[in-house]
Amino acid sequence: MKLEYEKPVITRIETGLMNKFGSSPLYARKIRKDIDGVSIEKLVEDYGSPLFVISERKLRENYKRLFNAFSSRYPNVQFGWSYKTNYLQAVCAVLHQEGALAEVVSKFEYEKARKLGMEGHQIIFNGPYKPFEALETAVSEGAVINIDHFDEIFELEKVAEKLGKQVKVGIRLNMDTGIYPQWSRFGFNVESGQAMDAVKRIAGGNKLVLNGLHCHIGTFILEPDAYAKEVKKMVEFAYEVEDKFGYSIEYIDIGGGFPSKSKLKGTYLSPDVLIPSVDEFAEKITQALYESLRPGDFPKLILEAGRAIIDEAEYLITSIVAVKRLPDGRRAYVADAGVNLLFTAFWYKFNIELVQEVSGANEPSVIYGPLCMNIDIIDEGSLLPPLEKGMQLVFSPVGAYNNTQWMQFIEYRPNIVMVMEDGSVELVREKEDLSDIERREKLPEKLKLK
């Protein structure tokens, strides 16, 4: 067989563990032939490519690891599953089976949780926009509601009036915990006095009863001390409110934001070194609680961890559909999955595993997605051996935010399967076809072409 001509390239070999661009690139790429014992080749044969694959085992393991880290240190812990992080029914159902409530931030997510079988009192309703009807439903069904702004206080007072009852509410706080830029657009600011003004307003209206505090300081937080600061400020605020207004604060909801073992672009160290363990976060948080709570007080500690639970439980299998050489000499590939499916590619550098042994020198390569859009790049700079059209790559971790922030742009969205704990494979979201995209469209009669 005549070998195809390949332009020679000279690549400087960097030795040692680290250079100024971070850890040295992998020379031997990891090979992954299966996900939880199910062959990747078979998965692609049965469900096509690209293909998202969720591991039920890993998902349950991650949840238990986080829950145990907190519940072994503090007696009153409740998790709420952050729907926005991944609201596939199968994912939510696994986490609800494990004991998580539904944490939703819109009417749509609220309806999704209800349809799945969660009752109102099993839902935490956060977010900056809760329409009046959604608030009315949530109040009637007994959901936990965390207020975002003054207008929502007024809306909820109207709901309370309409339903003829006092309504228990929480408020969302924002504060300086050393994490910048500060997420100050949500909730009421503590340091400026705005949060206390909100409580005064609630007390003055006498239609709502404050019984909880909520906060979410950001996402992919690498600093356990930030949570310790958050907890201290929340507990201090709770006592001030209890002492001044006679309220009883039943829960302190500290939000989510714990990192997954993903590699944030621009970080030098590998996630294994950089990311603090779940136990470090749990230790700081519960320590801060014990230091600031009055003896005998154990308000419910609510956590809304999203990415730390789901991210590493999901993979994306993608296939190479074309091999190219760029004018600067770099090898480039076109894959059948792009930023339409991996929205988080803009921030994270994924693990890339090969599915088969490939011989040949590794080269810094670019992997483009299938979109006719210049910024559709899902990896740049990874050293890859010479891949061929038809070969598969496995990207991970991809469980957080990709199945919710993905775009229906140019391409259909593919199948998603879950590898179950018993080794079986279930289709949990069927790939789209034209009917899904056009179902809501209406073509005016006079524009019809035939």
Ligand X SMILES: Cc1ncc(COP(=O)(O)O)c(C=O)c1O
The residue ranges that bind ligand X (CB under 6 A) are 82, 84-85, 103, 126, 216, 219, 255-258, 304-308, 400
Beta carbons within 8 Å of 3's beta carbon, 6+ residues apart: none
- Provide the Cα torsion 163, 168, 174, 176; round to 10°: 170
Q: What's the min distance (Å) between Cβ of 48 and ligand X? A: 29
Q: Which residues are paired to 334 by β-bridges? A: 322, 368
150 or 347: CB nearest ligand X? 347
25 or 128: CB nearest ligand X? 128
What DSSP element (H or E) covers 144?
strand 144-147
Q: What's the min distance (Å) between Cβ of 186 and ligand X? A: 7
DSSP track, 38-88? EEHHHHHHHH-SSEEEEEHHHHHHHHHHHHHHHHTT-S-EEEEEEGGG---
Q: What's the min distance (Å) between Cβ of 93 and ligand X? A: 18
Q: What is the DSSP letter of 249?
A: -
35 or 102: CB nearest ligand X? 102
Q: What's the min distance (Å) between Cβ of 84 and ligand X? A: 6
64 or 431: CB nearest ligand X? 64
DSSP track, 188-210? EESTTSHHHHHHHHHHHH-SEEE
CB contact at 8 A, 371 and 339: yes
Contacts by 357-361, CB closer than 8 A, 24 or more apart: 357/31, 358/29, 358/385, 358/386, 358/387, 358/388, 358/391, 359/385, 360/385, 360/386, 361/11, 361/385, 361/386
Q: What's the min distance (Å) between Cβ of 215 and ligand X? A: 9
77 or 366: CB nearest ligand X? 77
Both structure tokens of 196: 């206390």
94 or 354: CB nearest ligand X? 94
Q: What's the min distance (Å) between Cβ of 81 and ligand X? A: 9
105 or 387: CB nearest ligand X? 105
Q: What's the min distance (Å) between Cβ of 411 and ligand X? A: 26
Pairing of strands 377-384, 363-368: antiparallel
Pairing of strands 51-55, 314-325: antiparallel
